[in-house]
Amino acid sequence: MYQFFYIEFIRSSVEDTAFDTLSWYRLSKTTTDVNTSNVFLLLVDDKYLKSENLLDENSETNYGYIMPREYLAKIITSVDSLVSEIDAENYPKALFLDYDLSYLSDPNNKVPTQGDLKLLEVLKKKRPYAIYLPMTSNYNYIYQSKETKANFISVGLTTASDNISRRYYAYETYLDLNKSKKKFMNVAIELWCLQHDLNKSVLDDFSQNGLALVENRIIFKDTHVTEDDVYTTWQSNWKQLSAMSANYPLDMIYEDDLRESIIMVGAAHRASADSFEIDAYSKVISGVEMHANALMSLNYFRGKLKRLPLLWSLLIVFSVVFVLDVLLTLIYQSRVYQKSLLYKDRLHQEWKKNIVSFFLLDDAERFNDRWLIVSALIVLFVISDRLLISEGHYWFNWLIPVMLSLPYMMFVGIKRMIKN
C-alpha cells in the first residue's frame, strides 16, 4: 500500500478518498492562521464585468473570447495608485495576473491590438512590488518582448480521472529566450519562496513523479461570502486569505494588512472556462482560487506535505490491529457480553432480535471479523487526524485497513474451509 499508492485504482479508491474525507472533516471547516502575510484576490467576476459594461442584457460577456487586455492593465494601475498612497513599509510584495497572455488579441496573432500595447506599456513600468505572469506555452508575446519587468511562472493544475482537481505541478518546462529548456516554478511555490525569502533551489525538494500525489495536495477551505449589488467579498477559513470583486474600492483595505501581501487577479465570472471541480459534490472554484489555496497549503505544511515514514506506518497499523484484536477477544469472553447473548435469545420480536444480532454475534471469530476492521478504521482515523494537524503535519492513510481487509477476509475464508 505504501509503495503503490500512486497506482490509479489505489489512488482513486483509497489515497484520495482518505485525504478528502479527513480534509472535509477537519481542515476545511476550521479557521487556520498560517502566520504569514495576507493574500488578496481581485476577482474579475460578474459584478466587475457589470461595472465595466462588459455584460449584455442576458448577463453574457460582450467582448468575445479574450478578456480585453486594457482592463487587465486598468486593474494593475489601480493597484499602483493604491501603493502610491501608502507608506513604503506597507507595500505589497507581489501581484499575480492569472490570465493566459501567450498570444495577441488579434485572431491571427500578427498585429497587437490597442489593449495588448496598453498592457505591455503598464508592465514595463518600475514598481515596488513584483509582477508574475503565467507561462503556458513556448510562445508568449510579453515574455518575448524582453522589455517587461514581469516574472514568469507556471500554473499547472492536475485533474484526476474523476475530473476532480486536488494538486498542482511543481514546475512545467518551456523554452526560454535562448530556446533552451527551462523549468518554470509553479506560482504557489514561487510566491511561498517569496514570502519567506527562500532560495529557488527549494524546487529540487519537490517531486514530479508518483510521489507528487502526496507532496502537492491542496487543502481547500470553506469561505464566508458577503454580497451586494455592487461587489462581492468573501473571507476564507484561511485567516490570511480573502477576496473581493476587482471593482472593490482598494482604499477600504487596511493599510497594515497590505504589508508584504500577495495580490492575485483572475477570472471568476460565470462564463469563465478557468474553473475546477474540487470535490465529489461538484463544487467548482476558479483557477486563481486554486492557486491561492495551494499557496496557503504550502504555508500550512511549511513546504510539501510529508508522508509518515514506512516504519512508523507499519508499527501503527500492526499495533492498532493487534491491540484491538486482543480487546475484542476479551470483550467476547467477558461476563457482560455473555449475559447480553442470553438476553438476545430471550427476545420474542423477530425484528428486535435481528437488530441485536447484528451487534452481538454468537461465534467468536465472526464477532472479531465484523468489528476488527470497523474499530481499526475509527482508531486509525483519529491517529491520522492527529498526525495531520500536529506540528510535523505528516500524512498517514487511515483507509489502509479497507484494502488490507480484502486479503485478510480471503485468508479467513480459506481457514474456515480447511477447518470445516
Residues 166 and 219 in one domain: yes
Q: What is the mean pLDDT of the chain?
A: 89
DSSP-derived secondary structure for 357-402: HHH--SSHHHHHHHHHHHHHHHHHHHHHHHHHHSTT-EE--TTHHH
> Is 383 domain-assigned?
yes
> Is 142 domain-assigned?
yes
Residues 116 and 263 in one domain: yes
283 or 187: which leads in pLDDT: 187
Question: What are the φ/ψ torsions at residue 264 (nearest 5 degrees)?
Answer: -120, 135
CA distance 157 to 188: 11
Contact 86, 128 (CB under 8 A): no
DSSP-derived secondary structure for 46-92: HHHHHHTT-B-TTS-BSS-SS--HHHHHHHHHHHHHHHHTS-GGG--
- Domain boundary (270, 301, 332) is at 301
Residues 317 and 295 in one domain: no
Q: What is the pLDDT of residue 373?
A: 84
> Is 406 domain-assigned?
yes
Query: pLDDT (tens digit, 9 = 90+) per residue, 245-286?
Result: 999 999 999 999 999 999 999 999 998 989 999 986 678 999
- Domain boundary (267, 301, 335) is at 301
> Is 243 domain-assigned?
yes
Q: What is the pLDDT of residue 357?
A: 63
**Widest pairwise Cα distance in the chain:** 90
Handedness of CA 393, 394, 398, 403 (dihedral sign): positive
CA distance 268 to 38: 20
Q: What is the pLDDT of residue 312?
A: 93
CA distance 352 to 357: 8
What DSSP state is assigned to residue 347? -
Residues 282 and 413 in one domain: no
Q: What is the pLDDT of residue 85?
A: 94
Q: What percent of the chain has pLDDT over 90?
A: 61
pLDDT grade for 348, boundaries at 50, 70 and 90: low
Residue 405 confidence (pLDDT) above 80? no
Residue 166 confidence (pLDDT) above 90? yes
Give the count of domains, the chain: 2
7 or 341: which leads in pLDDT: 7
Q: What is the pLDDT of residue 350?
A: 64
Residues 134 and 201 in one domain: yes
Residues 125 and 264 in one domain: yes
265 or 102: which leads in pLDDT: 265
Contact 297, 218 (CB under 8 A): yes
Q: Which of 118-132, 302-316, 367-381 has the lowest mean pLDDT?
A: 367-381
Q: Record the cell numbers describing residue 296, joined without a space.
A: 496557503
Q: Which of 281, 133, 140, 306 is nearest to 220 (CA)?
A: 281
Q: Record the cell numbers describing residue 369, joined without a space.
A: 471479523
Residue 351 confidence (pLDDT) above 80? no
Q: What percent of the chain has pLDDT over 70?
A: 94
Q: What is the pLDDT of residue 122?
A: 95
Burial of 177 (0-12, 13-18, 19+ CB in 10 A): exposed
Contact 384, 398 (CB under 8 A): yes
> Is 12 domain-assigned?
no
> Is 9 domain-assigned?
no
Residues 115 and 149 in one domain: yes
Query: pLDDT (tens digit, 9 = 90+) per residue, 16-44?
Result: 889 999 998 889 999 999 999 999 999 99
Q: pTM, whole model, 2 decimals?
A: 0.89
Residues 192 and 330 in one domain: no
- Domain boundary (301, 333, 356) is at 301
Residues 317 and 296 in one domain: no
Q: Which of 33-47, 139-153, 300-314 has the lowest mean pLDDT?
A: 139-153
Residues 171 and 269 in one domain: yes
Residues 283 and 340 in one domain: no
Instruction: Supply the range of the domain harboring residue 371.
Output: 308-419
How do 232-236 and 223-227 pair as beta strands? antiparallel
Residue 211 confidence (pLDDT) above 70? no
Q: Please name the residues in contact with 194: beta carbons below 8 A apart, sequence gap of 6 or more.
A: 93, 94, 130, 262
291 three-state secondary structure: helix
CA distance 296 to 241: 8
User: Which stretch, 197-201, 224-228, 369-373, has highest mean pLDDT?
Assistant: 224-228
> Is 364 domain-assigned?
yes
Handedness of CA 89, 94, 97, 98 (dihedral sign): negative
> Is 190 domain-assigned?
yes
Residues 284 and 361 in one domain: no
Q: What is the pLDDT of residue 402?
A: 72
Residue 346 confidence (pLDDT) above 70? no
